[in-house]
Amino acid sequence: MKKRTKRLLGGLTLAAGALGLAGAYLTRKKVVSDEKRVGDVWARPGMAVTFRAELMPGREREERTYHVKELLKNGRVLLEGFEGEHVEKGFEPLNFGVR
């Protein structure tokens, strides 16, 4: 092989190794960030959540409030006394006493 061809193949090998290392690093970083998210959820079992008024027109706030029975892995919740899976967008924002 010519010297120029050897250098080209060596450079390509080095570049491929660098890309593989970068891919492994980014994949590991994503896995770690997903593990941290486990505790960062918008609802917990037993917590009271209120449907948005647009979804249940003509009902008072107390009639639109339900308790979370179970939090599913996909971020949806099951409610006590109400059928189906529900997403965060269907509920009023949680204020935690901020006015």
Neighbours of 58 (CB within 10 A): 6
CA angle (67, 54, 50) in 5-degree steps: 15
83 vs 37: which has the higher pLDDT: 83
Per-domain boundaries in the chain = 3-39, 48-90
Instruction: Please determine, for residue 35, whether its predicted confidence score (pLDDT) is greater than 60.
Output: no
pLDDT at 22: 83
Interval 13-42 mean pLDDT: 74
pLDDT at 37: 54
70 sits in which H/E element: strand 65-71
Contact between 20 and 28 (Cβ < 8 Å)? no
Residue 31 pLDDT class (50, 70, 90 cuts): low
φ/ψ of 9, rounded to 5, equals: -65, -40
Residue 21 pLDDT class (50, 70, 90 cuts): confident
Structure tokens of 92?
Answer: 């009023």
Residues 6+ apart with CB under 8 A from 67: 46, 47, 48, 49, 79, 80, 81
User: For 47-98, what is each residue's pLDDT tens digit?
Assistant: 999 999 998 899 999 999 999 999 998 889 999 999 999 999 999 987 665 4
